[in-house]
């Protein structure tokens, strides 16, 4: 019975956690999307005006243009290429979900951030309740992973192995499997999908899973590269399980 209620609790926790992220993503999208579109239109108009008069701009006007351009880029608006980019939103659902995940996991790349007052205040409350929820979730996933380790240990114990040796072997197995599943294979995947070098993939994976999150490398952000839909959602799920693995690794 305890096992059954434990499974139910885990199921409810996982469901609740994902619902929390999905609702958060929807709210961020609703609050931020329109403001971002305005910003993109303004940036496109600024570029247009610059292209029409750039032959006789004063130094002060040029400085102002550079300032505006820098500001736009810092806000995630790149006035490069054709008009179609106004339609591509940084706040589509996949991106918003990814953002919600980086908030509760405290990675905080800083490449996408709320700019409206509503979005910023919502972000504060979303993180306030989301970070503890994330810790509980990671703890529960970590427990599930450690149960697998225990099962392996029990199997080896029945085969007549000494306890100390078992502890060492399960830790080694856990470490090797984790490095393979969360660092080596994803890096290969990033190498193919993002066109990074393998070492850049390893660097990105580690900086992400350790929650340092510099934001110098972020998935799904390169202009002119075609990503499959829900790519970032898949990466967000990899991050969550990877975080649980790292947290448990430090515990072990």
| Residues 41-67 pLDDT 10s | 888 888 888 888 888 888 998 899 899
pTM, full prediction: 0.85
Listed residue (214, 215, 206) closest to 239, CA to CA: 206
CA distance 39 to 48: 14
Listed residue (38, 95, 54, 46) closest to 70, CA to CA: 46
Instruction: Compute the average pLDDT of residues 158-164.
Output: 86
Can you list the domains of the chain with their CATH numbers? 1-72 (no CATH), 89-251 (1.10.287.70)
**Residue predicted with more confidence, 201 or 55:** 201
Structure tokens at 52: 């029409």
CB 21 within 8 A of CB 100: yes
CA distances from 238 to 65, 94, 101, 206, 231 (A): 40, 14, 11, 12, 11
pLDDT of residue 131: 96
Question: Highest mean pLDDT range out of 36-45, 201-210, 214-223?
Answer: 201-210
First to last CA, the chain: 28
Find the radius of gyration of the CA atoms of the chain. Answer: 23
For 84, the 3-state DSSP assignment is helix
In the DSSP assignment, the letter for residue 86 is G
pLDDT of residue 86: 65
CB 223 within 8 A of CB 233: no
Share of the chain above pLDDT 70, in %: 96
Structure tokens at 26: 């929807």
Which contacts of 83-86 are long-range, i.e. CB under 8 A and separated by 24 or more positions? 83/44, 85/40, 86/37, 86/40, 86/41, 86/44
CA distance 55 to 63: 14
221 C-beta neighbours (distance < 10 Å), count: 18
170 pLDDT tier (thresholds 50, 70, 90): confident
């Amino acid at each position: 019975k305890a096992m059954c209620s434990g499974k139910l609790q885990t199921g409810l926790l996982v469901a609740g956690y994902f619902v929390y992220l999905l609702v958060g993503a929807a709210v961020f999208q609703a609050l931020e999307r329109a403001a971002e579109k305005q910003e993109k239109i303004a940036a496109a108009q600024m570029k247009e005006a610059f292209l029409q008069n750039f032959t006789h701009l004063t130094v002060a006007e040029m400085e102002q243009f550079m300032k505006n351009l820098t500001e736009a880029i810092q806000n995630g608006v790149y006035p490069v290429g054709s008009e179609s980019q106004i339609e591509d939103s940084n706040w589509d659902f996949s991106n918003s979900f990814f953002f919600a995940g980086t908030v509760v996991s405290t990675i905080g790349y800083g490449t996408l951030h709320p700019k409206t007052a509503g979005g910023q205040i919502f972000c504060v409350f979303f993180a306030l309740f989301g970070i503890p929820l994330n810790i509980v979730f990671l703890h529960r996933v970590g427990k599930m992973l450690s149960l697998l380790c225990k099962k392996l240990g029990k199997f080896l114990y029945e085969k007549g192995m000494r306890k100390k040796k078992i502890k060492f072997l399960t830790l080694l197995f856990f470490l090797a499997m984790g490095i393979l599943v969360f660092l080596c294979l994803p890096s290969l995947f990033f190498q193919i999908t993002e066109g990074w070098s393998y070492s850049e993939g390893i660097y990105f994976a580690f900086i992400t899973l350790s929650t340092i999150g510099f934001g110098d490398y972020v998935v799904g952000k390169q202009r002119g590269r075609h990503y499959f839909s829900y790519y970032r959602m898949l990466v967000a799920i990899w991050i969550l399980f990877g975080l649980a693995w790292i947290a448990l690794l430090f515990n072990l």
